[in-house]
Structure 1
């Protein structure tokens, strides 16, 4: 009860802070903010310790980081309360109506009502900011003022419009990094996941680059027509640095060009590697505008930097790979040892790196295991659909391969709650490897079916495969150590469609092959980078790193910058920016490293306890051989109880409209994962308005 009261108080405080931040964004372009509010705050904050940027720290940086710290604490307190909050209720169903798709086809993809509402609100904010700048600024440009600067009126207006467009672009940049901070508390607070938020990052990225490109082109035109083209190579000592802005823009344009769908699909590595240009883009953006103005966009990037550094620390470890199941459909299930303290919800993902294939490439995969049903193991399913996954399958299936591959991970990342349990019936529609998120859901419901008085929704799995060999993926619905009886308590119906074959394949020689790998002393079980209390540690990292930043930058400003500058902006803008960047990086590195070191000591004992776990076969007998290969015949889908729940259709595609409309119940959760056309077809059916009980959710990994 105390946790609920504290959470309610934190939720109220977070609401007030967020409303205040929204109000500041609305007031940003007004004369009231610039001439009254900021001036009044500057008089109180401006000191020998924080300089002229002190007001921006208080107005823009502090509130967002406070939200990040309090949000992490809120999630920590609610971690053990989710079990009681999963039952269906009218409030959650009303929210589900807002999540129903409104736009299905178009450049934005599948967009729900709430997403479209917030998109319109954000665009309205951008229009409001630009319109306010134009309304307040253009009337002040008169022939007399223009003559003072030796230019014509239209030329001066062009210069100011370019400036205001750049200011609007900074608004987009301020939100750009929130969707890609995978472990941040901001996304779970809004009910979002990292993979589901990538499209917001894409939208913001396009808007940012369009505005900054127009900003840069307008200034180049202005310099050209006024005979000041030499301004392009100007690096001001204490003002705007044009060279730094041009470098930032060029880095952003290269990054932006690589996101073109044709390039991203055909040359994914080019797309992946050019994305690291964000470091150049942000660094030179700060050098361009100065640290004072950068503090407006800094909070989102600050949270991203914390997340990125924690991911780096986690990726330095090689995790313990126990076994692999090789399926004849060129699919592999990897099973890792994990710490019992590592928990995650269904449909979570993690990023894998296999050094033997590429030391730089990281690929996301859905976690198919359940952290409570399988407390000592974590599994992912990988289908050979690209060069990286094909090389991995070939590496594991090679008879000469006896050594386990060296694997590193980042994650897991996933939803904060099992929201799908609010529905009476779950309809899961998959295409090909899109079945993998639903395996994790089914395993979660297997666990819940064993708990007394725990109601589970009815389930219908509609799985479309190209070939009959892909049916072996249904064998992965049960854990490697599972038994057929685990499905007996579930109301599960499986409709499997084989689209390219009209009859079962006659080849009976296909086998599911299990490979067990020998121990390696350097490998460790998978564990959360900050341990079981990761949200609490994240809150501590955010707050303590910011405090260290304030203390260090206050000392540097008081005893190094202020004696030179005296708050008259005479100090080098570039040096000031570099000092702030170094202090931020130092603060984050020290606090995050300390938290990781402390949490590592906590799960070190667990690692020792399961050090020899990889020597266990499914039957529980030890195996002292370097690797153990167990081939077993593929049974007729493969457990009797699973076969009874499965109906296979050859040579046809599912009639999704009929199957969805035939579902009965007040709340039908429709989850879809697979090719783009499949997702759009299901979204169109759910948004048609012909069935009010269908609640759509797309699980997409096509970034």
Structure 2
């Protein structure tokens, strides 16, 4: 194994060359992104309007692209260019961070000098200083956009009043409503980036889709506030001026008011169900109503026309490609080898995977069991390690809802099922990790929040045993409600591992049982292992786009958009242009939008399907797999609870424990309830905690 790792590692010369190329690519990406932001900053100014009008008239208003050419060039291409080039950047980074380079040579001085300090902001939760600064700057951008657009439109108030026959204040009210919609459009342009799971844009900034969900939530609330205000002001204006008929107007070559009202209505239904109480207690309602975003976007495009919709297309385009690739992956049934049933309604599912599927610690998957629900997909953290377990993938599932309860009952019954059809989307996770760069790791978990830390501990096992490399000291602080939950500690070592694997590095475990004051008289039940019969229709989980997934994703992004531009150019030149001649006053906006959306879907489907099929792996023979299962069947895991110091009847004094750490660099990771995350964040934000580097691994939706 060692010689293979060395062979695959790049030489020092190629290593340096790759670093230079990546730095050049990153500089180019940042320059393009800065230019993209400047476009949004200048959008509401008179100078930009004049420049954009000249660009449209002199260079892009062709018979192939029409008036939408300028919008594509200025608003759409920069972000898609960033996404494609970003794929190359991440592919080179994947080559650079081979096992021998990333794990062995991860030095302490590689920690960023400007480490984020956590802060607890009401309404925002735990945020870093950088996140708070970016949030404030985005709000400032919205205020700037509102004021500049309002100033621009107010300058034409008198002419508008004469044209419409309205009073000055009535025209101003109408303009305020219009500007609120324009500013809401700015938020909509960014709202899909955080929820695109396989995208190169968020990793460029060191973010993951799971960790960026809060940005999507912030943008969603701001967007709906602005769009709701836009709709209310417009309706009030129509009532005051007695233009009731405009509420039912669907203009053929202008703004379609009915489409806008329908879009807002679907958005409001979606928005209401995102309330934390509804999302927690009625997750299925929240889940299903979130699909209303399709109708929301559809009628939004009908409302404004395809030309204006190009301003928000990049994020939605990347999301559409990601969603279609996940759909293709989900059509395959994944081979479920075994399940470990723990006391107190906890499961560990063990899937088969191909060895070329690699993922980083703390990654997650989305799981679907058709026998429970054909539509529901639930996220779970991967507890296994792709280096330590090259042909296995494990997840931990705790009974915390109706879906998980049904799954637990199926597997824990006296006569459990002997086969289970399962589909998976993922894995999704950070492009790289930096946990091993600290002198010490303090991992704080609550309940099933221990799952991501199991994957980290297994990574440390691999580093210390296979690579023979020194690892960070580890302190695992885990809080459980009942002593039966302590059986989760039996999952620290893989199903084929032994307790001795944990002795190769410094690991200290402090467990707290909060709702019991003393150890139980009866010994907890030993975990039960269920083995499933193999099925020829099931296949090991494999990478959707193969080992060079970033390059394939970049190829799909670029080729699909080029195909779309070709289709759209031919359609415009030989069908729309002969009718409209770029006047935008004859050909129906709605029909043009429908045709363009259809072309987008066709282009994405063609490119993504080709990329997926070309990377589809051949399934291993059933005989080989059955033999592997039979060999694994002989190896049962042993209880590892004796490794932990168990405390009953109280909670850990997290502030004291953290502030007592004297190591120069201490990585503090927390995954658990909100109160626990806030307590750890408050301790790490203390002026006495300069050596603490905080990171929250929250997977709450």
- Asked whether the two chains share a fold, i.e. TM above 0.5, the reply is yes
Task: Return the alpha-carbon distance in structure 2 between the equivalents of residues 253 and 439 of structure 1.
Answer: 40
Give the 5 Å matches for 1:242-257: 242-257=257-272
Give 1:608 deviation, angstroms: 1.5
Q: Which of 413, 425, 450 is equivalent to 1:410?
A: 425
Residue by residue over 1:477-534, the C-alpha shift from the partner in whole angstroms, topping out at 9 and shown as x without a partner, is: 0000012221121111000111111221122361210111111011010011111111
Give 1:105 deviation, angstroms: 4.6
Does the residue aligned with 1:110 lie in a helix, a strand or coil?
strand
Does the residue aligned with 1:571 lie in a helix, a strand or coil?
coil
Report the CA distance shift for 1:517/1:20 in structure 2 as closer, same or farther (over 3 A): same
Residue by residue over 1:37-86, the C-alpha shift from the partner in whole angstroms, topping out at 9 and shown as x without a partner, is: 44235411110000000001111111111111111111111102124356
Give the 5 Å matches for 1:541-580: 541-569=556-584, 570-580=586-596
Task: Return the alpha-carbon distance in structure 1 between the equivalents of residues 687 and 19 of structure 2.
Answer: 37
Task: Verify the 8 A CA contact 2:496 2:632 in the aligned structure 1.
Answer: no
Q: Which of 223, 227, 235 is equivalent to 1:208?
A: 223
Task: Return the alpha-carbon distance in structure 2 between the equivalents of residues 123 and 307 of structure 1.
Answer: 28
Residue by residue over 1:143-184, the C-alpha shift from the partner in whole angstroms, topping out at 9 and shown as x without a partner, is: x64133111001101111111110000000000000000111
Task: Verify the 8 A CA contact 1:430 1:462 in the aligned structure 2.
Answer: yes
Q: Which of 660, 663, 669 is equivalent to 2:661?
A: 663
Residue by residue over 1:332-352, the C-alpha shift from the partner in whole angstroms, topping out at 9 and shown as x without a partner, is: 100000010000000000000
Task: Verify the 8 A CA contact 1:467 1:500 in the aligned structure 2.
Answer: yes
Give the 5 Å matches for 1:22-101: 22-83=37-98, 84=101, 87-90=106-109, 92-96=111-115, 99-101=116-118
Task: Return the alpha-carbon distance in structure 1 between the equivalents of residues 56 and 102 of structure 2.
Answer: 42
Task: Verify the 8 A CA contact 2:108 2:439 in the aligned structure 1.
Answer: no
Task: Return the alpha-carbon distance in structure 2 between the equivalents of residues 688 and 509 of structure 1.
Answer: 40
Does the residue aligned with 1:167 lie in a helix, a strand or coil?
helix
Does the residue aligned with 1:402 lie in a helix, a strand or coil?
coil
Give 1:611 deviation, angstroms: 6.1
What is aligned with 2:691? 693
Residue by residue over 1:12-32, the C-alpha shift from the partner in whole angstroms, topping out at 9 and shown as x without a partner, is: 211111111111111111111
Report the CA distance shift for 1:137/1:402 in structure 2 as closer, same or farther (over 3 A): closer
Does the residue aligned with 1:77 lie in a helix, a strand or coil?
helix
What is aligned with 1:106? 122
Task: Return the alpha-carbon distance in structure 2 between the equivalents of residues 134 and 326 of structure 1.
Answer: 62
Is residue 2:138 matched to residue 1:122?
yes
Report the CA distance shift for 1:597/1:514 in structure 2 as closer, same or farther (over 3 A): same
What is aligned with 1:459? 474
What is aligned with 2:492? 477
Task: Verify the 8 A CA contact 1:290 1:573 in the aligned structure 2.
Answer: yes
What is aligned with 1:342? 357
What is aligned with 2:153? 137
Deviates more, 1:203-212 or 1:395-404: 395-404
Task: Verify the 8 A CA contact 1:330 1:383 in the aligned structure 2.
Answer: yes
Task: Return the alpha-carbon distance in structure 2 between the equivalents of residues 621 and 121 of structure 1.
Answer: 57
Report the CA distance shift for 1:614/1:660 in structure 2 as closer, same or farther (over 3 A): farther
Task: Return the alpha-carbon distance in structure 2 between the equivalents of residues 364 and 590 of structure 1.
Answer: 28
What is aligned with 1:589? 605
Residue by residue over 1:382-426, the C-alpha shift from the partner in whole angstroms, topping out at 9 and shown as x without a partner, is: 011111111111101112223221110000000111122221110
Deviates more, 1:607-616 or 1:215-224: 607-616
Scaled by the length of structure 1, the TM-score of the pair is 0.94
Report the CA distance shift for 1:38/1:4 in structure 2 as closer, same or farther (over 3 A): farther
Q: Which of 607, 625, 629 is equivalent to 1:613?
A: 625
Residue by residue over 1:260-293, the C-alpha shift from the partner in whole angstroms, topping out at 9 and shown as x without a partner, is: 1121112111110000000000010001000110
Q: Which of 250, 263, 279 is equivalent to 1:264?
A: 279
Task: Return the alpha-carbon distance in structure 2 between the equivalents of residues 686 and 618 of structure 1.
Answer: 48
Q: Which of 379, 403, 414 is equivalent to 1:364?
A: 379
What is aligned with 1:627? none
Task: Return the alpha-carbon distance in structure 2 between the equivalents of residues 107 and 19 of structure 1.
Answer: 29
Give 1:6 deviation, angstroms: 2.3
Give 1:460 deviation, angstroms: 0.2
Report the CA distance shift for 1:425/1:614 in structure 2 as closer, same or farther (over 3 A): farther
Task: Verify the 8 A CA contact 1:329 1:472 in the aligned structure 2.
Answer: no
Report the CA distance shift for 1:67/1:179 in structure 2 as closer, same or farther (over 3 A): same
Give 1:555 deviation, angstroms: 0.1
Deviates more, 1:144-153 or 1:185-194: 144-153
Give 1:315 deviation, angstroms: 0.8
Task: Verify the 8 A CA contact 2:361 2:455 in the aligned structure 1.
Answer: yes
Give the 5 Å matches for 1:244-643: 244-452=259-467, 454-508=469-523, 510-569=525-584, 570-600=586-616, 603-604=617-618, 607-609=619-621, 612-614=624-626, 616-617=628-629, 619-620=631-632, 638-639=639-640, 643=642
- Structure 2 unaligned segments of length 5 or more: list them: 1-13
Task: Verify the 8 A CA contact 2:210 2:699 in the aligned structure 1.
Answer: yes
Task: Verify the 8 A CA contact 2:418 2:531 in the aligned structure 1.
Answer: no
Give 1:450 deviation, angstroms: 2.1
Task: Return the alpha-carbon distance in structure 2 between the equivalents of residues 451 and 480 of structure 1.
Answer: 18
Task: Return the alpha-carbon distance in structure 1 between the equivalents of residues 373 and 418 of structure 2.
Answer: 17
Task: Return the alpha-carbon distance in structure 2 between the equivalents of residues 502 and 615 of structure 1.
Answer: 47
Task: Return the alpha-carbon distance in structure 1 between the equivalents of residues 605 and 631 of structure 2.
Answer: 45
Task: Verify the 8 A CA contact 2:343 2:524 in the aligned structure 1.
Answer: no
Task: Return the alpha-carbon distance in structure 1 between the equivalents of residues 340 and 19 of structure 2.
Answer: 43
Task: Verify the 8 A CA contact 1:42 1:54 in the aligned structure 2.
Answer: no
Task: Return the alpha-carbon distance in structure 1 between the equivalents of residues 144 and 288 of structure 2.
Answer: 36
Give 1:139 deviation, angstroms: 3.4
Does the residue aligned with 1:80 lie in a helix, a strand or coil?
helix
- Structure 1 unaligned segments of length 5 or more: list them: 623-629
Task: Verify the 8 A CA contact 2:110 2:437 in the aligned structure 1.
Answer: no
Instruction: Provide the aligned length of Structure 1 versus Structure 2.
Output: 681
Does the residue aligned with 2:193 lie in a helix, a strand or coil?
coil
Q: Which of 671, 674, 685 is equivalent to 1:673?
A: 671
